[in-house]
């Protein structure tokens, strides 16, 4: 009887001590390396287009020359609008898997309901906003590009005599006619034929219409074709 009692105590003690010992590896997993941020050389950066529709209620986002190795792009467009004289922040965004070197998305500045025929409620009084892009490679590492943009109608530009990008201190004096819409933004990549530039700014239009450049600030901002203010401006 004493032998059985001693044996039981030995088994119980071993179980108790094992429960108090170090936890298994399953409870202490090996730390994983967090994703890293990386930078793209200017020559490897994609060229971004943000083209307004003729009525200004939609922007076409185009990304060309996406670098090899980028497998996913997240985009977010934020802008201010007015609803019953109240300023509100609106936005649209998505995550896209990349299977070629370019992509296009139509970004509606408003809401769409297609339950019984499509109906649209457009956001009003949109003057500016921010476009953010996150490019992610196969390792999960990412690089981020964020740019301000200005959205303006031809009539608004003509009345002001200029289109500006205040965040970047860019002013282009011009006087367009017609009813087109224009976007002025800081670009990410270099346009075709340009190999050396500090910064690129681009004006996009809902059509091929435009007007001559009257003046540009800063004066170091260069545009090769001065017959239209639409296109790329190079800051070297």
92-151 tens-digit pLDDT: 999 999 988 999 999 999 988 877 778 888 899 999 999 999 999 999 999 999 999 999
Average pLDDT for 52-72: 95
Q: What are phi and psi of 215, to 5 degrees?
A: -165, 160
Give the integer Cα–Cα distance in Å for 31 and 142.
20
pTM value?
Answer: 0.82
Q: Show the tokens assigned to 235.
A: 């800051």
Q: Is residue 36 part of a domain?
A: no
Output the pLDDT for position 226.
84
Q: Where are the alpha helices (DSSP H) in the chain?
A: 2-19, 154-160
Give the integer Cα–Cα distance in Å for 203 and 205.
7
Q: Is residue 127 part of a domain?
A: yes
Q: Is residue 236 part of a domain?
A: no
Count of domains for the chain: 1
Distances (CA, A) of 168 to 109, 171, 214, 218, 221: 23, 9, 19, 10, 12
Give the integer Cα–Cα distance in Å for 109 and 59.
8
**Residue 123 CA, distance from chain mean position:** 20
Give the integer Cα–Cα distance in Å for 108 and 110.
6
Preceding omega of 234 cis (within 30 degrees of 0): no
Q: Is residue 11 part of a domain?
A: no
Q: Is residue 9 part of a domain?
A: no
Q: Is residue 216 part of a domain?
A: no
pLDDT tens per residue across span 88-98: 899 999 999 99
The whole domain housing 144 covers 42-161+179-195+203-208
Q: Is residue 150 part of a domain?
A: yes
Output the pLDDT for position 119.
86
Q: Is residue 172 part of a domain?
A: no
Residue (of 115, 147, 103, 107) closest to 128 by Cα position: 147
171 has a pLDDT exceeding 70 = yes
Q: What CATH number did the domain enclosing 104 receive? A: 2.60.40.10
């Amino acid at each position: 009887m004493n032998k059985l009692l001693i044996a039981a105590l030995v088994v119980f003690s071993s179980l108790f001590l094992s429960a108090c010992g170090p936890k298994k590896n399953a409870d202490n997993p090996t730390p994983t390396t967090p994703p890293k941020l990386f930078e793209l050389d200017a020559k490897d950066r994609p060229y971004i287009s943000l083209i307004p529709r003729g009525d200004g209620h939609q922007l076409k986002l185009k990304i060309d020359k996406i670098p090899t190795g980028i497998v996913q792009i997240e985009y977010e467009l934020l802008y201010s609008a007015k609803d019953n004289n109240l300023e509100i922040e609106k936005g649209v965004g998505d995550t896209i898997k990349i299977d070629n070197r370019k992509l296009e998305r139509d970004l509606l500045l408003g809401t769409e309901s297609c339950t019984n025929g499509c109906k649209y409620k457009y956001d009003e009084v949109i003057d500016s906003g921010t476009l953010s892009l996150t490019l992610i490679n196969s390792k999960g590492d990412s690089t981020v590009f964020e740019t301000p943009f200005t959205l303006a109608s031809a009539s608004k530009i003509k009345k002001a005599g200029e289109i500006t990008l205040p965040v970047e201190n860019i002013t282009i004096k011009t006087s367009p006619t017609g009813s087109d819409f224009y976007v002025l933004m800081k670009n990410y990549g270099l346009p075709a034929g340009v190999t050396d530039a500090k910064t690129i700014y681009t004006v996009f239009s809902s059509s091929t219409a435009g007007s001559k450049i009257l003046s540009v600030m800063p004066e170091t901002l260069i545009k090769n074709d001065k017959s239209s203010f639409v296109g790329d401006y190079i800051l070297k």
